[in-house]
Structure 1
Amino acid sequence: MSRIDETREFIPVRIAVLTVSDTRSMAEDRSGQTLVDRLEAAGHRLAAREIVKDERDGIAAVLRRWIADPAIDVVISTGGTGLTGRDVTVEAHRDVYEKEIDAFGTVFTHVSMQKIGTSAVQSRATGGVAGGTYLFALPGSTGACRDAWDEILSLQLDYRHRPCNFVEIMPRLEEHKRRK
């Protein structure tokens, strides 16, 4: 069963938060702020924060820049995961993924179903890995950000979480690039 092993030391992770929006400013970015508040309360470090317009190339450019930054371990984006024509965050994420974390979207949908019922089918949350950096795309609502953080990411980004977590395998994300 899922649990926190208090005998293990907490390891803070450096997390960047990207809000995808054509209209929000930093002062109006409640979803991004929800993520910042939660990650900092958990003991993690905010490594970067930006707002980018709903443009696939622009989103992918920020993701690539942050993937290349050794001071960033995780990127969490919020917004642009729906079904409308302007919702291109998932496509931008997939443009940069080396590996997709398929179960992330499935688990997010399961969590969402408990909160909003079948409306959960309208969200396309996704997760993946590129350049040794974890990437997660969440819907733009504060509720979705709370649910994803509280029910999934807070646990998987905690080294003490058992039986396994994302933090403990971070050093191995790029083992395929090591010389044999």
Structure 2
Amino acid sequence: MSAATQGFEPLHIAVLTISDTRTEETDRSGAALVECLQAAGHTLVEKRIVADDVYRIRAQISAWIADSGVQVILTTGGTGFTGRDSTPEAVKVLLDKQIEGFGELFRHLSFQEIGSSTIQSRCLAGLANHTVIFCLPGSTGACRTAWNGILKEQLDGSHKPCNFANLVIPGRGQHGG
């Protein structure tokens, strides 16, 4: 299939909630991400919750990066400045390339909803071992903002002129855009 005719292809996505207090019953942000990705036609590979601890976060994300069955990792939580927020410190060292514009675009979209409070978001994204990783804030609203404003299109191989789906689908990386 040529780059010009590539369309939507479901991606295999893992969701990680980073929190010292959330459980499966109280994890609304992780549940929202699962709902969004499945509604868009993607496949949930696995969903987990880990404590906001640099090494536990790295261990889980590293396992998924090494798993050829995981193409995308979405994390929620640990991106602020309070308490033990440590997602950026845990994830940055694992990235082969950082997606610089992701945080900027997210904060631009979020500013329209929550004003200057968005400056406290240290969300980030990048590529590691042909896996794209998006680290989102812990609020359900922020997860929906990121999904609807960025991720839905960027994880769809038919979105033009470029998208991240084409970088994680085997055989398409050289056509990613």
Scaled by the length of structure 1, the TM-score of the pair is 0.90
> 5+ unaligned residues in a row in structure 2: which ranges?
none
Aligned to 2:37: 39
Say which SS state the counterpart of residue 19 (structure 1) adopts: strand
In structure 2, the partner of 1:108 is: 106
Counterpart-to-counterpart distance in 1, 2:173 and 2:115? 38
Q: Match for residue 144 of structure 1?
A: 142
Equivalent runs, 1:14-25 vs 2, <5 Å: 14-25=12-23
CA RMSD for the aligned pairs?
Answer: 1.6
Preserved CA contact (<8 Å) 2:52 2:78:
yes
Question: 1:125-174 deviations in whole A, cap 9, x for unaligned?
Answer: 10011111001110000000000000000000001111111112334798
- Contact 1:131 / 1:174 at 8 angstroms: preserved in 2? no
Q: Deviations over 1:11-37 (max 9, x none)?
A: 000110000011111111000000000
Partner of residue 25, structure 2: 27
CA distance in 2, matches of 1:17, 1:30: 12
Q: 1:83 aligns with which of 76, 81, 84?
A: 81
Aligned length: 169
2:59 is matched with which residue?
61
Q: Which runs of 4+ in 1 moved over 3 A?
A: 171-175
Shift in alpha-carbon separation, 1:120–1:173, aligned structure 2, 3 A: farther
Which of residues 166, 171, 174 is equivalent to 2:164?
166
Give me the identity figure in percent. 51
Contact 2:32 2:143 in 1 (8 A): yes
Deviations 1:96-120 (A, max 9, x none): 1111101000100111111111011
Residue 116 of structure 2 aligns with an amino acid whose one-letter code is T
Q: Using a 3 Å threshold, how does the CA distance of structure 1 residues 10 and 79 change in structure 2: closer, same or farther?
A: same
Correspondence for 1:98: 96
Q: Distance in 2 between matches of 1:173 and 1:55?
A: 35
* C-alpha distance in structure 2 between counterparts of 1:173 and 1:63, whole Å: 23
CA contact (8 A) 2:29 2:140 kept: yes
Identify the residue that residue 133 of structure 1 maps to in structure 2: 131
One-letter identity of the residue aligned with 1:151: G
In structure 1, C-alpha distance between the alignment counterparts of 2:15 and 2:141, rounded to whole Å: 16
Distance 1:161 1:52, change over 3 A: same
Letter in 2 for 1:142: T
**Unaligned regions of 5+ residues in structure 1, if any?**
1-6, 176-180
Q: Helix, strand or coil for the counterpart of 1:129?
A: strand
